[in-house]
Amino acid sequence: MNPSIVPDPVSHDSPRPASEVGRTAGVPKSVDRDRLGTTVAGQVRHSVETLIGRAAVERGLATREQVVLAFEELKKLPKEERAARFAPVFIARGVLTAEQIETLRGWVRDEAHGGAGPDPSGSSMVARAAIAAEPTIPGFRFVRKLGSGAMGTVVLARQESLDRLVAIKLLPGKFASDPLYVDRFFKEGRAAAKLNDPNIVGAYDVGKTDAGLHYFVMEYIDGDTVFDRIQSSRRIPERDALRIARQAASALKHAHARGFIHRDVKPKNLMITKAGVVKLADLGLARAGGDAEAASEEKGKIFGTPYYISPEQVRAREVTPATDIYGLGATLYHMVTGRVPFDGGSPKEVMQKHLREPLVPPDQVAAELSGGLSMIIEMAMAKDPRDRYQSAEHLLEDLELVAAGESPVHARPKLDAPGASMEGMGGPAESELQIASVPRAPGLLSTVPGITVLVLLALSLAANGVLALLLLRR
């Protein structure tokens, strides 16, 4: 495939040169992403199916390679059959489930004009309505859209009273009538407001307009994300990765001290300003550790992103500070090796690997990594929370030591049998796990040389005994 072409395997439109395709603000261009298609300013019209493929990658539901290969299979079909065969092909290849495809289709349609096609402005329906009726939120003047996700659209705005730029998250209209989504949206704002740390995106305001628009005003970060940097350079040098991880660990230390668990630490949620300051973002899944009501409501539900999710989240078990440490460990693994810790043909397969498959040590993937950093990542990603760092403070201490060229004091080399550290965690998938015993070194009697030595020793003792008897008789 020519990497300079942006294909749309489902649409009948001709591909356009990648040089003609614009980029979303803050997201660097990459060949892999171009191969999945980009919708910007109406320059390229992509099918809904192509946008679903892109959304699946951006939300961590599938890898770029899985989606590209599925589209390659679709391209072998006649053009008029591709749209109808999209779901069967993706499901048969294990890229997405039927439910995931429908969910993503809903998100894509929310980005379109009434679901009829890509929006030339690149804005969601909520953002378009807001900008058209400027100022929708009293005291703020909308500038442009920054991005969008499952839980809302983020726009750049100017706060007129203080003459400063801010980011405003808008809850999609389709969620505005759902008390659960509205409550989660406001919880994100309240959680962020309780955290005042230079490494956490600041919260300014949260509310609802007379027109029924729910909004969350936060600090505007002029920069990129760790995900963007991985996309552009694949591997982040150890020195830079340590600097990023230390700031992220400091943010977690602050959040945990105030009783909040983030639950979705990943590259996309670590923003970096142009001055190099790391900011932990998106507290949409954050929950107070002692929130018994929320824990009861969420019982049996899985929250998190498959590539960076902890085993206890997969099992819908209790979350602790060690849960966020696992997410940061998985993020750090991705940064320094250029690949996610566990990959698979579907989200379920990836999550099962978090449960049962032993982690390939990062220094075996990237030989140039220091042993100290490798030990830190392995301890942060221990399958049993009890074997991980028990506090972000201890993790931060080890990161600072390794950054200074010293050895970590909390991390230690450890050889675990596959799945052995999962004992006692319980959960619905327990019966699927095959717990292996720790391999032991062979004993003396279990080797041929050992048996030979023992036989010769016994013969020697017997000969000496006979000789001694003969001497005594004389």
More confident residue, 174 or 204: 204
What is the per-residue pLDDT for 414? 62
- Residue tagged active-site, from 110, 119, 264, 363: 264
Do 426 and 413 touch, CB atoms closer than 8 A? no
Q: Virtual CA dihedral for 269, 229, 399, 278, nearest 10 degrees?
A: -50
| Domain range annotation of the chain | 5-110, 125-219, 223-432
Lowest-confidence region among 15-29, 310-324, 365-379, 454-468: 15-29
Cβ atoms within 10 Å of 122's Cβ, excluding its own? 21
Give CA–CA dist 112/470, Å, rounded.
105
* Percent above pLDDT 70 for the chain: 68
Map tokens 């060949």 to a residue: 31
CB atoms inside a 10 Å sphere around CB 416: 17
286 close to 261: Cβ distance less than 8 angstroms = yes
106 vs 47, more confident: 47
Is-same-fold flag (125-219; 223-432)? Answer: no
Q: Is the pLDDT of residue 231 over 50?
A: yes
pLDDT given for residue 177 in this prediction: 82
pLDDT band, very low/low/confident/very high, at 351 (cuts 50, 70, 90):
very high
- Superfamily of domain 125-219, CATH level 4: Phosphorylase Kinase; domain 1 (3.30.200.20)
What angle separates helix 48-58 from helix 98-110, to the nearest 10 degrees? 110
Q: Is the alpha carbon torsion for 159, 162, 167, 172 positive or negative?
A: negative
Q: Is the dihedral of CA 392, 255, 28, 100 positive or negative?
A: positive
Query: How do residues 55-107 score in pLDDT, each as one tens digit?
Result: 888 766 788 889 999 999 999 998 888 888 999 999 988 898 887 787 777 66
Residue that wins the pLDDT comparison between 289 and 154: 154
Cα distance between residue 147 and residue 307, in whole Å: 21
> Which tokens belong to 418?
């596959």
264 is an active site residue = yes
Burial of 244 (0-12, 13-18, 19+ CB in 10 A): buried
- Which of 155, 158, 159 has the alpha carbon at shortest distance from 145? 155
Q: Is the pLDDT of residue 402 over 90?
A: yes
Q: Which of 380, 358, 381, 361 minimizes the C-alpha distance to 371?
A: 361
Q: What is the pLDDT of residues 428-468, one digit of tens each?
A: 443 333 222 223 334 444 455 566 666 777 777 777 777 76
pLDDT at 9: 53
pLDDT for 395? 98
Assign a CATH topology to domain 223-432. Transferase(Phosphotransferase); domain 1 (1.10.510)
Whether 194 has a pLDDT exceeding 60, the answer reads: yes
pLDDT in tens, 12-36: 433 333 333 333 333 333 434 333 4
Residue 109 pLDDT: 64
